[in-house]
Amino acid sequence: MNPRPACLDCPSDKWTRGTGASTCEDLCASTDCSPTQQCRLEAPCDRTSGNCLAYPNAPDNVACTTDANTAGSCKSGSCVELCGPGEGGANCTACGLGYYSAGGSLVNPTPDCTSCPTLKTTSGTGSTTSLSCSVNICAAGKGGSSCAPCAMGFYSPGGSKTSPKTACVACASGKTTTGLGGTSSNACSVNICSAGTGGSTCSPCAQGFYSTGGTISNPKPQCVACQSGKTTSGTGGSSAASCSVTICAPGKALTGGVCTNCPLGYYSVGGSITSPGAVCSACPSGFSTGVTGSTSKAACVVPVCPAGKGGPQCAPCVAGYYQPSAGTVDNPNPSCLQCDAGTTSLTAGAASCIEDLCVTQPCGGDTCKSPGKCTQTSPTSRTCAAKVNQADGSNCTVSVSGFGSVSGSCQAGRCDLCFGKTCSNGGATCRNAGTCDAATGQCGSPVVADDGNTCTINNKAGSCQSGNCVQICSSGSGGPNCISCPKGFFSVGGNPFLPTPDCKQCPAGKTTSGIKATTSANCSVPICSAGYGGTTCTICPQGFYSTGGSATTPNPTCTQCPSGKTTSVTGSTSSGKCNVAVCKAGTGGSTCSICVAGYYSTGGTLTNPTAACTQCPSKKTLNNATASTASTACAPVSG
Q: What is the mean predicted confidence (pLDDT) over 376-399? A: 78
Closest listed residue to residue 519, CA positions, set 503, 497, 495: 503
Question: For the chain, what's the residue count?
Answer: 639
pLDDT digits (tens, 9 = 90+) for 13-24: 788 777 777 788
**Residues above pLDDT 70, as percent of the chain:** 96
Please report, to the nearest 10 degrees, the dihedral formed by the alpha carbons of residues 216, 217, 220, 221 taken in order.
-120
**Residues above pLDDT 90, as percent of the chain:** 38
Domain stop point among 522, 538, 562: 522
Looking at the domain assignment, is residue 500 inside a domain?
Answer: yes
Give the angle subtended at the CA of 311 by the CAs of 308 and 312, to the nearest 5°: 130
Domain that holds residue 619: 582-639
CA distances from 75 to 63, 67, 295, 605 (A): 10, 15, 110, 75
| pTM of the predicted structure, to 2 decimals | 0.40
Lowest-pLDDT range of 146-160, 292-306, 408-422, 563-577: 408-422
Pairing outcome for strands 148-149 and 142-143: antiparallel
Q: What is the mean predicted confidence (pLDDT) over 283-306? A: 90
* Beta-bridge mates of residue 397: 407
Looking at the domain assignment, is residue 572 inside a domain?
Answer: no
Looking at the domain assignment, is residue 439 inside a domain?
Answer: no
| Max intra-chain CA distance, the chain | 243
Closest listed residue to residue 544, CA positions, set 567, 512, 519, 510: 567
Neighbours of 405 (CB within 10 A): 10
Structure confidence at residue 489 as a pLDDT band (50, 70, 90): very high
Domain stop point among 522, 544, 563: 522
Lowest-pLDDT range of 96-105, 240-249, 273-282, 385-394: 385-394
Q: Is the pLDDT of residue 202 over 80?
A: yes
Q: Is the pLDDT of residue 389 over 60?
A: no
Structure confidence at residue 101 as a pLDDT band (50, 70, 90): very high
Quote the pLDDT of residue 20.
Answer: 75
Looking at the domain assignment, is residue 602 inside a domain?
Answer: yes
Looking at the domain assignment, is residue 510 inside a domain?
Answer: yes
Query: Do the Cβ atoms of 286 and 328 come closer than 8 Å?
Result: no
Domain stop point among 522, 548, 565: 522
Quote the pLDDT of residue 599.
Answer: 82
pLDDT digits (tens, 9 = 90+) for 567-601: 989 989 999 999 999 999 888 888 888 887 778 88
Q: DSSP for 570-599? A: SSB-SGGG--EEPPPTTEETTTTEEPPTTE
CA distances from 35 to 47, 66, 265, 602, 615 (A): 18, 16, 134, 83, 72
Quote the pLDDT of residue 193.
Answer: 94
For the chain, give the mean pLDDT.
86
- Backbone φ and ψ of 242, nearest 5°: -70, -20
Looking at the domain assignment, is residue 169 inside a domain?
Answer: no
Beta strands in 235-373 (DSSP E): 245-246, 252-255, 258-261, 266-267, 281-282, 287-288, 302-303, 309-310, 315-316, 321-322, 337-338, 343-344, 354-355
Q: What is the mean predicted confidence (pLDDT) over 106-116? A: 90
Quote the pLDDT of residue 365.
Answer: 62
Question: How far is residue 149's CA from residue 138's CA, in Å, rounded to a whole number?
Answer: 9
* Cα-trace Rg, the chain: 61
Quote the pLDDT of residue 639.
Answer: 44
Provide the 8-state DSSP code for 370.
B
What is the total count of domains within the chain? 4
Looking at the domain assignment, is residue 192 inside a domain?
Answer: no
Of 74 and 63, which is predicted with more confidence? 74
Looking at the domain assignment, is residue 32 inside a domain?
Answer: no
Structure confidence at residue 619 as a pLDDT band (50, 70, 90): low
Question: How far is residue 138's CA from residue 111's CA, in Å, rounded to a whole number?
Answer: 29
Quote the pLDDT of residue 319.
Answer: 86
Question: How far is residue 69's CA from residue 60's CA, in Å, rounded to a whole number?
Answer: 19
Instruction: Indicate the helix (H) or strand (E) that contains 358.
Output: helix 357-360
